[in-house]
Structure 1
């Protein structure tokens, strides 16, 4: 098991990340461009959405404005893009993911990462990756639960680069810190927002709002 804080402190740009544990879910976004950094998380009736902090600076909203978190019945869906809506509309995590592929942002071809947390404590993580052939590789990881104090972490990128290197391997088993520590561990220049759901209590962190 690795320490999530160490992982984040030693990686200036994991991109977007999902962490699922026994009693908590974290989702964070980072940005290198002005457009990506010009965002905040806001609460909605069934989750959260991204929103431009300064609408006048918004350029292309297609890959940065979406609902990262939505309820699907008693389950919670968390993703890094508008596939959240696809999954919820399908009413089925895998069926929704099978309808989508990586983002069309060549040369990065950012993977789509998604999670569903079920009321019985089981959960799934998924990543949709670009292959050299141009096809999409869809990977699913199903968990019967997690022990107290630990969870599983997946991100869009291995780290910074040009093009950005896609996350590789299985989700990482990590020791889970408190939300404030996660927010502090994210790179100060690149972090944008963090969603923390601990025991059903949601806290949002937004760099653009002074957090």
Structure 2
């Protein structure tokens, strides 16, 4: 398996990404990151709320845009839910209502943002090192119906990780990211993972990244890009 920095360096524009891994100290961790190309995308922050959620929000006073501003991580009873859109709240509500992770992730659709049709990526994790990935993707063919992928990951040994990104690109035109990528991390703990992830993102495009532990979202480590004029 390639290292996490090598995997991310292979793409000029990874978009948004979700990661589940076990660091060298044996801790199971989740991570979420944002990169963006347009001024509207880059004018966002990732912040912690009084409700112990992580929210992607505008850093200025523009009106709410549900594709750019959303709850990115939420602790839902025994479940941690994180992802790249408003579906995070939907999945968390379903889990609170008693649905299993697989049923909570079902029925989601990709984003209505032609021509890219960004996948919706969601992770449900528990406190026992298990994670369920869900990806709602548009077909690479002519179909407009949603392809829904679910992946159950458990018992990752230290140093192993699973990554999903919205895009992959080696040029100016992003394409839908791979269904998932198994990769390796050299991080020994949460702080080192945040350093490794942040350093691997394209400096001119990175917006924010966070690393968190199930059950302890309030203690998430967050890194933000410094913009000119901030």
1:140 is matched with 150
**Counterpart-to-counterpart distance in 2, 1:141 and 1:63:** 24
In the TM superposition, 1:121-136 aligns within 5 A as 121-131=129-139, 132-136=142-146
2:4 is matched with 4
| Secondary structure of 1:2's aligned partner | coil
2:103 is matched with 95
2:176 is matched with 166
In the TM superposition, 1:22-101 aligns within 5 A as 22=22, 23-44=28-49, 45-55=51-61, 58=62, 61-91=65-95, 92=99, 93-101=101-109
2:221 is matched with 203
Following TM superposition, by how much is the alpha carbon of 1:195 offset from its aligned partner in structure 2, in angstroms?
Answer: 0.7
**Counterpart-to-counterpart distance in 2, 1:99 and 1:30:** 26
Instruction: Give the structure-2-normalised TM-score.
Output: 0.83
| Secondary structure of 1:67's aligned partner | strand
Contact 1:12 1:190 in 2 (8 A): no
Contact 1:35 1:59 in 2 (8 A): no
2:20 is matched with 20
**Counterpart-to-counterpart distance in 2, 1:70 and 1:198:** 11
| Secondary structure of 1:28's aligned partner | strand
**Counterpart-to-counterpart distance in 1, 2:169 and 2:8:** 10
**Counterpart-to-counterpart distance in 1, 2:64 and 2:93:** 24
**Counterpart-to-counterpart distance in 1, 2:81 and 2:6:** 26
**Counterpart-to-counterpart distance in 1, 2:80 and 2:57:** 20
Following TM superposition, by how much is the alpha carbon of 1:148 offset from its aligned partner in structure 2, in angstroms?
Answer: 1.2
| Secondary structure of 2:70's aligned partner | coil
Following TM superposition, by how much is the alpha carbon of 1:209 offset from its aligned partner in structure 2, in angstroms?
Answer: 6.8
Contact 1:154 1:172 in 2 (8 A): no
Distance 1:176 1:100, change over 3 A: farther
Unaligned ranges ≥5, structure 1: none
RMSD: 2.2
Contact 1:29 1:192 in 2 (8 A): yes
1:193 is matched with 208
